[in-house]
């Protein structure tokens, strides 16, 4: 089902702007490759959550799956197959180099999403179990 959650939309826009800033201005060996990849999962989650009426866990898993699918595409050189290997934008958005370590950073993004959602979810019962998770 479709919905629109403006809070998640604007959070996604904020993460996108951070990602653009990292891609444009950060040229190091930690933030750009690892924090940027972790935030990619957060970005996909926020955008999915802004338009899909589904729970935290299914959308977090879907965001992780999307990130892993993009990484698999890098492994199989899909930009070349699609004729986009000369596009700087496609290389930045979809990546061009496979790395097993990227899969771990995507998992860290998944954990970050779950942790933030657990922190911000109101508790439904005295047991402390979050209502939306």
Q: In the beta sheet, which residues pair with residue 40?
A: none
Mean pLDDT of 113-121: 93
pTM to 2 decimal places: 0.85
Residue holding tokens 């000369």?
86
75-114 pLDDT, tens digit per residue, is 998 898 889 988 988 887 788 789 999 999 999 999 999 9
* pLDDT band, residue 43 (cuts 50/70/90): very high
CA distance 80 to 68: 18
- For the chain, the 3-state helix, strand and coil shares in percent, each to the nearest 5, are 70, 5, 25
Q: How far apart are CA 33 and CA 113, in angstroms?
A: 19
Extents of the domains making up the chain? 6-120
Give the contacts of 23 (CB within 8 A, at least 6 positions apart).
Answer: 32, 36, 92
Q: List Cβ neighbours of 55 (8 Å cut-off, separation of 6 or more).
A: 132, 133
């Amino acid at each position: 089902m479709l919905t629109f959650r403006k809070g998640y939309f604007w959070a996604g826009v904020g993460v996108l702007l951070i990602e653009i800033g990292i891609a444009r201005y950060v040229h190091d060996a930690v933030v750009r490759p690892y924090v940027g990849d972790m935030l990619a999962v957060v970005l996909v989650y926020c955008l999915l959550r802004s338009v899909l009426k589904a729970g935290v866990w299914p959308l977090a898993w879907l965001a992780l799956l999307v990130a892993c699918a993009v990484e698999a595409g890098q492994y199989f050189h899909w930009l070349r197959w699609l004729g986009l290997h000369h596009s700087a934008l496609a290389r930045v958005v979809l990546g061009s180099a496979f790395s097993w370590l990227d899969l771990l950073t995507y998992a860290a993004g998944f954990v970050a999403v779950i942790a933030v959602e657990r922190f911000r979810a109101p508790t439904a019962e005295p047991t402390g179990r979050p209502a939306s998770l």
